Structure 1
Amino acid sequence: MKSNNNLKPQDILILLKISTLGEQEWYQHTLSEDLNISQSEISECLTRSKYSGLIDASRKKVNLLNLLEFIQHGIKYVFPQQPGPIVRGIATAHSASPLDKEIQSDQNYVWPYARGDMRGQAIQPLYKSVPKAILKDKKLHEVLALVDAIRVGKVREQHLAISLLKERLQHTQ
């Protein structure tokens, strides 16, 4: 039986987490704990990402240019999202740092989370564990919020998010 090598949304989450770590050494079990994703799923992600050219052959270093290209040009088509009903949650897209300082809006976007501190239109995160994972990782929160701005934002927001995302991730390499 042939395995499916198509990317899954959690692959982007895992690759972004690895990217925010920069040169810091990481292990699958620590990624698993930090992201609330099983070790087997982390391993499968790394295999799919290697196949897609988003991580190197050693499965340790993200091919940042390829990842940024995919996020810039493909993520809104491969993992689309539409704002949903008003819910309590954690700020994302233009409602979260760093875009909240650049873009003024009457409408907030949030990842649904019962313990969140903001009300706004629901944006489903790339993976269900995102709200818990970002509570202890500000860098990850920022890059995922920028990715959501690319997924659901208007053209101006998308361009600003792409620029800020490149800036943040290239400084970690």
Structure 2
Amino acid sequence: MDLRLKPQDVVVALKLVALSAAVASPWTQPELARSLHLSASEVNHGLKRLAACHLFNPRERRIIRSGLQEFLVSGLRYVFPAQLGLFGEGMPTSLGASVLAERLRLGEDDQVVWPLAPGAGDGAHVRGRLLAPLYRSVPLAAADDPVLHEYLALVDALRVGRARERAMAKDELVKRLAS
């Protein structure tokens, strides 16, 4: 098995962080797969890759937050680069998501969205610059889990934001991962 991280592994890691804040009960791989709209084998292989990269402790079944923080803040935008596309309708992410939009005054040109089929998701569609999600199932998983949506939006801000916006996303992410 190839032990290099894949984009869906980052999504799995962020979901586990989101779950640790919200759920006291243990999770199972099939439940995790369903909630992320991934296959069980994708989750299983993702956890193995995260463990190989010292981002997941399989014995304690938890994310190593300090390592994840370092990777997200310093390496993610280089390992999984992103480019903004044309304008379209979709689900808000990055600067357009509520976690950062509350602090910024954004015009339509500043909105960033994941492309999403009309009628899909929670109905919070806006017009903005299209950004391919980190992994294809991200919009569906984010629509089901607002906390995961916030983490993914912060990660997207680190990937495509300007210096000020990346700094805001970093500060918020560091604060959340420390708790």
The verdict on a shared fold, with TM-score over 0.5 as the criterion, is: yes
Q: Letter of the aligned partner of 1:110 in structure 2? A: V
Q: Letter of the aligned partner of 2:151 in structure 1? A: V
Residue 116 of structure 2 is matched in structure 1 by 113
Q: Letter of the aligned partner of 2:16 in structure 1? A: I
Shift of 1:134: 1.0
Deviation per residue, 1:50-106 (Å, 9 max, x gap):
100000142711000000000000000000001101111000001101100112222
Residue 4 of structure 2 is matched in structure 1 by 6
User: Under a length normalisation based on structure 2, what TM-score does the superposition of the two structures give?
Assistant: 0.90
Q: Which runs of 5+ in 2 are unaligned?
A: none
Residue 96 of structure 1 is matched in structure 2 by 97
Q: Is the 8 A contact 1:111 1:131 kept in 2?
A: yes
Shift of 1:47: 0.6
Q: Please give the secondary structure, in 1, of the residue aligned with 2:56.
A: coil
Task: Say which is worse superposed, 74-83 or 18-27, in terms of deviation.
Answer: 18-27
CA distance change for structure 1 residues 69 and 24 in 2, over 3 Å: closer, same or farther?
Answer: farther
1:78 maps onto 2:79 in alignment? yes
Tell me the percent identity: 39
Higher strand share: 2
Q: Letter of the aligned partner of 1:42 in structure 2? A: V
Residue 19 of structure 1 is matched in structure 2 by 17
Q: Please give the secondary structure, in 1, of the residue aligned with 2:11.
A: helix
Distance 2:104 2:9 in 1: 28
Q: Is the 8 A contact 1:47 1:59 kept in 2?
A: no
Deviation per residue, 1:33-63 (Å, 9 max, x gap):
1001000010000111110000014271100
Residue 172 of structure 2 is matched in structure 1 by 164
User: Under a length normalisation based on structure 1, what TM-score does the superposition of the two structures give?
Assistant: 0.94
Distance 1:12 1:136 in 2: 17
Q: Letter of the aligned partner of 2:82 in structure 1? A: Q
Superposed CA RMSD: 1.2
Q: Letter of the aligned partner of 1:15 in structure 2? A: A
| Length, aligned pairs only | 169
Q: Letter of the aligned partner of 1:11 in structure 2? A: D
Shift of 1:166: 1.8
Q: Letter of the aligned partner of 1:108 in structure 2? A: Q
Of 129, 132, 136, 1:128 maps to 136
Distance 1:124 1:111 in 2: 6
Distance 1:54 1:69 in 2: 10
Of 140, 157, 160, 1:152 maps to 160
